[in-house]
């Protein structure tokens, strides 16, 4: 985990929010870590409505998380 990620689940992305009816800043929320990548949700910073999602193809975290145990 790098410093920027540790600082907070915030990304300066602006998306259109159907509830606010305007483009609003979003917060990025990590939903799932899958073998194929990480799944994120983008949440409106004003009202909390999910405005989008994203899956990246970085499987590094998954395999670090379930690193196999070494026999003694
Ligand atoms: Zn909103």
pLDDT in tens, 3-38: 555 445 555 688 999 999 999 999 988 988 888 888
Helix (H) or strand (E) holding 44: strand 37-44
Question: Which residues have beta carbons under 5 A from ligand 1 (an ion)?
Answer: 17, 19-20, 24, 44, 46-47, 49
**60: CA distance to ligand 1 center in Å?**
32
Average pLDDT, the chain: 78
Percent of the chain with pLDDT over 90: 31
Encoded tokens for 39: 């799944």
HSE at residue 68, side-chain half, CA atoms within 13 A, is 3
Report the separation in Å between the CA atom of 30 and the middle of ligand 1, taken as the mean of its atom positions.
19
CA-CA distance, 62 to 65, in Å (whole number)? 5
pLDDT of residue 18: 94
CA of 28 from ligand 1 middle (Å) equals 14
Residue 34's DSSP bridge partners are 37
Banded model confidence at residue 62, pLDDT cuts 50, 70, 90: low
């Amino acid at each position: 985990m790098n410093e920027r990620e540790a600082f907070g689940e915030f990304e300066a992305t602006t998306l259109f929010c159907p509830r606010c009816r305007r483009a609003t800043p979003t917060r990025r929320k990590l939903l799932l870590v899958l073998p194929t990548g990480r799944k994120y949700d983008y949440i409106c910073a004003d009202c909390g409505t999910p405005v989008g999602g994203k899956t990246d193809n970085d499987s590094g975290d998954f395999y670090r998380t379930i690193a196999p145990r070494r026999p003694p």
